[in-house]
Structure 1
């Protein structure tokens, strides 16, 4: 079944989504909570706050209309005094008549426009005369003015008579509850994600040959099950490594014993024509055994130390010069890395020795990477390796040079050992064309 490609908007959203489990889990919790809070707040303002404000405004507008009509029926100071006294006692309204005044021209409106719109609508439905109002001049009061024939009837009303002033308390409680809920959710998710991160760190450390002795399964049941499976797998692999190490030690002892006897017999035997050839064969056999054991052992038991990369490159350059090549070293004066010294030195010697065998000029260089890692390059001016055979060169016992034969030194394990060491440190080795014209082996190590 062929899957249809995602539309453009879906691909854009997918690219902007978090890629980590922590980010996605947080998004799953935070987004619904925020949507819920927004929906509840909107429903509250639309169905409750606006409705209550509208009822209060209508009540206030009715009281203002009663005061205006009562004064218009008998526009005398005595009637105004009676109206003002009744409004003060029963409606909490302060009423005064400004003789000869007119309504203000400027209009001042509040930040929440729904309050002004609601009050204006209520006043317009109850008053026939021109009116003016201001909800911003006095924080706790509303100023309403009605145009009368002899002046302006001014009404000062408490703000809670026109607006539901306690709405912010509901919003505040809703916000506090949301923050508390999100805080608990974030702590819970963080604890679950931390268990997975620790499992990933333990697996990565084990892949580099390190051991995390205090790692214990914790977290959700599924995470604990995965951690327990990892511990069982690690124990099986360690038992296999220990058995292989013991077997290699036994094989090494069993093979070196007859080789030693042969060397002793050759040394004690009278000179004969094939003596030197036989000594060369014994040297080659011993070298092959060393290569096999080094490849199988992998130097996994060596502890990681902080070493000087320039110093290691200079030592590798000295070994390469003994093979007859001209070697240059380009590296910062100070560049440290956390490595297994013996294993990594062996990888460098294999690469530098291979470059010295196939080229006359060899260049060793190192530089820090922007990501915090280190790149080490070994280049030569030899014939190089075709691009389509770079991966083939890393296969154990691979001998790409047709001119080599079993009588030449080496068994095709140099690049395989070097890559095994680099990957054991969390990095890798890649091959490419060198500026010198030959092969370039680049070792990239994480920070």
Structure 2
């Protein structure tokens, strides 16, 4: 059993030097806003601590020590003068001179003794300095209190006749104006940090706006061009992003127009062939030819859907239970037994037609290779949603999961997910999911077949 380190051991001794960078990295802010603020705040705090420490060490303690030494000298004079002639008349003269020249109040408490309990203030350096000064000047036992009276110091010296009590103004023992310096230092720090926070926030807001525009474009949302702001480099990056977005959008529009044109051109001879086949007298290969025409038309539809991606469709809030119910009907028509589990009221903000097409592709794929299909949806702790499509078919080997998402990909005969199509079903579904900011992953279902998980952010 490995012995535990002592409870009071410093954490510096517990962590090897090689782990310190990782230890600090995990505790540093991860956002640009937090790190920029740390870059400003940390040097300011270090500087203020250094200045404050230098002030108290080089100035405040020195001044306090000199004041305490001077006060102790005056008290020693009063004590020695009274010891030379301990009469009431001499005490009256000493008290009058001390009041007039030193602002000290001197009084004798006959028959009294020093208090047994010491009273010390919160700032220990004041008491230590005054105690040191009095010990150097006085031979008699003494007691003092710096806490009872805010503006005075109570000092008592033991005498044979009683206790000689001396009340001195606090400013005679302590540099009482030090708090003004600390206050001004604190106000200056607050002003400096306020200005820094204001400027950093403006710079970070420009970067956040750029990130939001990039994320929206990745989800396929159409947003107008925004005005670049912030530093020159941030404006240049925003302008470069908008130019890139325009070029990509032009490429997508050209590709969609090209596929639509090709689809239209191919549909014309297909329609003509279908019409001629319908008007032709019955012959042996008529049914097979109709099947070929249906397959060709289905392939053209898949090509066009993959190219278009329903990117221009606006996002809406839809009920996942309704979407799963509609997809379940398609699976039942394909002959599969369907089980649906989705809480009522669970909604998602998606592009309805695009998301329905992705769900239909996954459900159709499951119904084609399994007899039992299970559809479920649930909210995620992170705020997003998860939709699962499972079947009891042969499944897909783990090493071929990513291969299954490649466009035009066909797997082996044990799980040919696109026997009627061209291998675009899973590719279209993942493209739709990623267009919503999420993704699709494949895994093993507890039904024995494949499980496809759609995760969308909240």
TM-score band w.r.t. shorter chain: over 0.9
The aligned residue for residue 267 of structure 2 is 256
Write out aligned runs for 1:9-408 (5 A): 9-213=20-224, 215-402=226-413, 408=419
Deviation string, structure 1 residues 268-317 (Cα, Å, up to 9, x no partner): 23333322222221111111111111111111111111111110001001
Q: Which runs of 5+ in 2 are unaligned?
A: 1-15
Return the alpha-carbon distance in structure 2 between the equivalents of residues 202 and 272 of structure 1: 60
Change (3 A) 1:404 1:374: closer
1:422 Cα deviation after fit:
0.6
Identify the match of residue 431 of structure 2 among 420, 431, 435: 420
TM-score (norm. length: structure 1): 0.95
1:152 Cα deviation after fit:
2.3
Aligned residue pairs: how many? 443
Return the alpha-carbon distance in structure 1 between the equivalents of residues 357 and 115 of structure 2: 93
1:392 Cα deviation after fit:
0.7
Identify the match of residue 450 of structure 2 among 421, 428, 439: 439
1:403 Cα deviation after fit:
7.3
Return the alpha-carbon distance in structure 1 between the equivalents of residues 144 and 425 of structure 2: 91
Return the alpha-carbon distance in structure 1 between the equivalents of residues 289 and 432 of structure 2: 33
Deviation string, structure 1 residues 71-102 (Cα, Å, up to 9, x no partner): 22222222222221111111111111223333
Change (3 A) 1:405 1:38: closer
Return the alpha-carbon distance in structure 1 between the equivalents of residues 167 and 284 of structure 2: 129
Corresponding residue SS for 2:324: helix
Deviation string, structure 1 residues 154-186 (Cα, Å, up to 9, x no partner): 211111110111111111111121122112212
Residues 410 and 423 in structure 2, CA contact (< 8 A), matched pair in contact too:
yes
Return the alpha-carbon distance in structure 2 between the equivalents of residues 65 and 118 of structure 1: 16
Q: Which runs of 5+ in 1 are unaligned?
A: none
Q: Greater shift after overlay, 52-61 or 206-215?
A: 206-215
1:445 Cα deviation after fit:
0.8
Q: Greater shift after overlay, 11-20 or 299-308?
A: 11-20
Change (3 A) 1:265 1:6: farther
Return the alpha-carbon distance in structure 1 between the equivalents of residues 169 and 155 of structure 2: 11
Return the alpha-carbon distance in structure 2 between the equivalents of residues 293 and 136 of structure 1: 87
Return the alpha-carbon distance in structure 2 between the equivalents of residues 45 and 171 of structure 1: 10
1:388 Cα deviation after fit:
0.8
Q: Greater shift after overlay, 135-144 or 223-232?
A: 135-144
Residues 418 and 425 in structure 2, CA contact (< 8 A), matched pair in contact too:
no
Q: Greater shift after overlay, 142-151 or 403-412?
A: 403-412
Residues 394 and 414 in structure 2, CA contact (< 8 A), matched pair in contact too:
no
Q: Greater shift after overlay, 255-264 or 394-403?
A: 394-403
1:6 Cα deviation after fit:
7.0
Return the alpha-carbon distance in structure 1 between the equivalents of residues 148 and 408 of structure 2: 91
1:411 aligns with 2:403: no
Corresponding residue SS for 1:223: helix
Q: Greater shift after overlay, 399-408 or 28-37?
A: 399-408
Return the alpha-carbon distance in structure 1 between the equivalents of residues 17 and 110 of structure 2: 74
Change (3 A) 1:113 1:408: closer
Residues 222 and 312 in structure 2, CA contact (< 8 A), matched pair in contact too:
no
